[in-house]
Amino acid sequence: MLRAKTQKAEDAELAVRFTEWYCKAHHADRARVPLVSDGVTGKIYGARIPILCEECATYARYVEVRTERCPHDPKPFCAVCPIKCYKKDMAQYSREVMRWAAPRSFFSRYCPRAIAHAIQTYRYRINLKKI
């Protein structure tokens, strides 16, 4: 189970927060309920539990499991990871969510994390080219 204040928990929390934005914008016509998952039990979302439709909740639970089971330490961002552990449909959904939410994160309270993510991804890709 993911616990708060770890790198993996922060990555999972950010992905689920992005999914929450995406769900609110794209699935407004669907019934949305508070997320029930191990991440909620482990308190990685704090007092503000994500409210998602069933499709996005399924994806959020999948993100938590895949992030928790990541063999890398420190965990790289999934987009630049050499091991592609997401199923094809979940990877496609992840790309869709991230492409929609990431640019918007620069104008939110997640701006420092978005900038750090961009810098870390750039550095990781530079290191891959050197190898």
Q: How far apart are CA 36 and CA 104, in angstroms?
A: 26
Question: Taking the chain (131 residues) in consecutive chunks of 10 residues, what is each chunk's mean pLDDT?
Answer: 76 91 95 92 88 96 93 79 89 94 85 82 76 56
- pTM (predicted TM-score): 0.85
Q: How far apart are CA 38 and CA 98, in angstroms?
A: 22
User: What are the tokens at 45?
Assistant: 């979302």
Give me the residue spans of the domains in the chain. 7-130
Q: Give the helix ranges, DSSP H, for the chain.
A: 7-26, 38-41, 54-68, 88-105, 111-130
H/E run at residue 51: strand 51-52
